[in-house]
Structures are given as structure tokens and as C-alpha cells.
């Protein structure tokens, strides 16, 4: 796997070079010391993965990520000195198409290298996604035991690459009283999830919170999956998390949440797939559509990566394909139709 490093810190470059060189399957494609150099090199020689710093002097990592994803798209992993310090810029970079972020490995006071294993784990996960491309949750047919129906519909949104920016755009256009809970499954590491909740909270008049185990989704509230396990809805209509399937690199998995809705949220609602790499969410979306849910996919033109929406479109899982700026209206329009039908309290 050919990997490029972008940093203006000589010590950081040496540490990462040594880490990558310790793994025979990783080859350093090129090194850039600022954002402009990274963009120029990526356009001429696109690697399989770019490790992108944020503070780069000439053009920062957020801008460089956006330009690379527009001119010569490739997987980008953001490197940061600290999660909380760089949270806003990390989510901006993810909105521009970065896959994830990792803390830059460093030497502690005793001369021990910290963060090496975490960085390699993230690179390995991205490597698996690149090689398989169509990884999705196990397609299962679960039992259909019925429970009491909830008094309102639900909106479920799945997203990945470019997701934070797309999510911000969608929820910023939603009314503060929508009449349904909204659950977001964004492929994001647990250490960034709480920062994502706070960041999204600044984009909307709706309440935004972590989908904590044991709580039940309520109307006019946005819930965000926030562990490295899969968020699902349990039989008692409360959130819980599961490690299975362990071999799915998408954590949390959109498909796993969609499957749980099929089993346990009997009154339906709207399912949405936004920009993202791979095929996660497509099979679950198809099952929801067949069960009467209204399904929406972001269009190719406005998607940073037209992977997840495309996969759902290809298997006939989508009722409506919309540009990003129209998705909120599509959600509200369908919910209003349900409310006017007097089938919800």
C-alpha cells in the first residue's frame, strides 16, 4: 500500500516514516511539507492513502483535503496533535472528504513511542475498506416478533466520507419541531463522536445528543451513534450497542441500525443515505423500503464520494435521489404527509 505523509514538522515526519517502514506492506509514496505541495503531488501521483496534517503553513490540511478530493480523490486520514483542540477543523476536513483522524504518535518523557498502534490500526482499517470496497453487514433475515407501535415516525441517516459537512447542511435546514426523532450513523471513531455532537449542535435548533445505551428516541431530538460498536434499537425501543458483526470495519454500521429498525420500529419513517465510501446501508435500506419506509439518497453531483448512495440506487433501494440542499425538504415533505394522514399521535 502506497502512503504519503503531509506535515511541516520534521520530527513528526521521521516518526511516521519509521512506523510505516516497520510494516513491510507499506511503501512511502512521497512526502509534502505544506498543503499546496501536497495538492500538487497528489494530482500528479495519487497514493492509496494520504496522512494529512492540519497546521501546514501554506494552505492548511482542511483546504488541501478539499482540493485533493475535488481534483484527484483518494483516501485521507487527518493527523492531529489533540482531538479536543482540533475538533472543529477535523470535522471540516471530514466534511471535505477525509475518512477519519488520528492523533500524531509522539515520544513521552521516558522515550517511549505513544500512539503507534492506534495509528496502524486506523491505517489497516482503511486498507481493508479500500481493498474490499463493497463491505457491508451480513444480510440477515431476523424474526419479526411484533411489539407495541411507537406514536411517531423516525428519521435515520447514514453517512461516511464527507458526512459531517453533509449532515450539517441537512440538519441546518430542518425545522426545530419536526415531529420525529432523528438518528445519525456516521462512520467516526469514538474519540471524535462527542465532538461531532457538539459541532452539529451549533448547526441546528434541534437538540443534538449522544445515543446513549438505555435511552429511548424522542421527537425533535437528534441522536448520534457514539461508540466503536454498532448502534441498534432494542425490542423495548431503547438504544443499545453490539460488537457483532466483529468483522465489519464500518463501526458503527448503518446496515446494522437499519436492520434493527426493521425489527423493532414498526411505524416506519424516512431513511437517508448521504455521501460515503463503500456499500454500508444499501441492503438495510432496501429492506426498509420494502417494509414501507420512504428512502432518500444524496445525488452524485453533491456527494464527496458517491459510494453508499450509489450502492443503494443500484439495488433499487431508493424512492428519491436528491441534491444535498434538497434532502431536508424531502424529509419534511414526507413526514408532513404521514402526519396529515392522521396515523400518528
- Catalytic residue positions, numbered: 160, 187, 280
Among 285, 262, 257, CA closest to 272? 285
Sign of the torsion angle spanned by Cα atoms 193, 198, 201, 202: negative
CA 161 – CA 167 distance, rounded (Å): 11
CA angle 177-186-147, nearest 5°?
A: 65
Give me 214's grid cell.
438505555
CA 73 – CA 66 distance, rounded (Å): 9
Which secondary-structure segment (H or E) carries 28? Answer: strand 27-32
Among 55, 56, 99, CA closest to 77? 99
Dihedral pair phi/psi, residue 100, rounded to 5°: -170, -175
Which secondary-structure segment (H or E) carries 53? Answer: strand 49-53
CA 225 – CA 293 distance, rounded (Å): 21
Region at 179 (left for phi over 0; alpha for psi -120 to 50; beta for the rest): left
Amino acid at each position: 500500500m502506497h502512503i504519503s505523509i503531509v506535515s511541516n514538522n520534521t520530527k513528526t515526519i521521521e516518526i511516521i516514516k519509521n512506523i510505516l517502514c516497520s510494516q513491510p506492506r507499506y511503501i512511502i509514496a512521497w512526502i509534502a511539507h505544506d498543503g499546496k505541495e501536497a495538492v500538487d503531488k497528489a494530482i500528479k501521483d495519487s497514493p492509496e492513502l494520504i496522512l494529512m496534517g492540519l497546521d501546514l503553513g501554506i494552505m492548511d490540511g482542511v483546504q488541501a483535503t478539499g482540493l485533493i478530493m475535488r481534483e484527484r480523490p483518494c483516501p485521507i486520514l487527518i493527523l492531529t496533535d489533540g482531538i479536543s483542540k482540533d475538533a472543529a477543523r477535523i470535522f471540516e476536513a471530514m466534511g471535505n472528504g477525509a475518512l477519519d483522524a488520528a492523533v500524531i504518535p509522539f515520544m513521552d518523557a521516558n522515550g517511549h513511542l505513544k500512539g503507534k498502534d492506534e495509528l496502524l490500526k486506523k491505517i489497516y482499517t482503511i486498507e481493508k475498506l479500500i481493498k474490499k470496497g463493497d463491505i457491508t453487514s451480513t444480510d440477515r433475515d431476523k424474526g419479526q416478533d411484533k411489539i407495541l407501535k411507537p406514536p411517531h415516525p423516525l428519521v435515520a441517516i447514514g453517512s461516511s466520507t464527507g458526512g459531517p459537512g453533509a449532515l450539517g447542511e441537512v440538519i441546518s435546514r430542518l425545522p426545530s419541531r419536526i415531529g420525529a426523532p432523528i438518528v445519525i450513523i456516521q462512520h467516526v471513531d469514538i474519540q471524535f463522536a462527542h465532538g461531532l455532537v457538539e459541532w452539529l449542535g451549533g448547526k441546528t435548533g434541534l437538540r443534538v445528543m449522544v445515543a446513549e445505551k438505555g435511552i429511548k428516541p424522542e421527537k425533535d431530538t437528534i441522536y448520534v451513534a457514539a461508540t466503536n460498536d454498532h448502534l441498534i434499537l432494542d425490542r423495548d425501543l431503547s438504544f443499545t450497542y453490539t460488537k457483532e458483526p466483529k468483522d465489519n470495519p464500518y463501526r458503527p454500521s448503518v446496515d446494522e441500525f437499519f436492520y434493527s429498525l426493521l425489527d423493532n420500529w414498526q411505524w416506519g419513517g424516512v431513511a437517508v443515505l448521504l455521501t460515503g465510501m463503500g456499500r454500508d446501508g444499501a441492503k438495510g435500506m432496501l429492506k426498509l423500503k420494502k417494509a414501507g419506509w420512504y428512502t432518500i439518497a444524496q445525488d452524485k453531483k453533491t456527494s464527496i464520494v458517491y459510494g453508499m448512495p450509489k450502492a443503494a440506487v443500484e439495488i433499487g433501494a431508493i424512492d428519491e435521489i436528491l441534491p444535498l440542499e434538497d434532502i431536508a425538504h424531502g424529509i419534511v415533505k414526507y413526514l408532513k404527509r404521514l402526519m396529515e394522514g392522521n396515523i400518528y399521535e
